[in-house]
Amino acid sequence: MSPSTKYELHYFGYHGVAMTIRALLCLGGADWTQKVEIFENWAAIKHSSSPFGTLPVLNVFKESGEILEIPESLAIERYLAKTFDMVGSTEAEQIQVD
């Protein structure tokens, strides 16, 4: 992770499935913010705010200017675990993490 990489998590204003994502961002020492989506407004904006019309979505703003948009909680969790070197270095450790 580059020190200038920034993360923006899009989710509703409650814990839900984004709790693990938030924990990974904190444990990884990431510079991150959360954009809280209002549940009552979600039906009207979901297809313009999310690739699959679902949340959570993580936007990764890289130093190079590249922006990654990662939908789906498991994909986000696996990406962050790899980014922050939390996946284990051996096959046995990786199985334990999964």
Supply the CATH number for residue 50's domain: 3.40.30.10
Whether residue 2 has pLDDT greater than 70:
no
Q: How many domains does the chain have?
A: 1
Please report whether residue 23 resides in a domain. yes
For tokens 């980014």, what's the residue? 83
Which H/E stretch holds residue 78?
helix 73-83
pLDDT in tens, 46-92: 777 777 778 899 999 999 999 999 999 999 999 999 999 999 889 99
Question: How much is the pLDDT for 85?
Answer: 94
Please report whether residue 78 resides in a domain. yes
Please report whether residue 1 resides in a domain. no
Per the structure, the complete domain to which residue 80 belongs is given by 6-97
CB 26 within 8 A of CB 7: no
Residue 87 buriedness (CB in 10 A; 0-12 / 13-18 / 19+): middle
pTM for this structure? 0.87
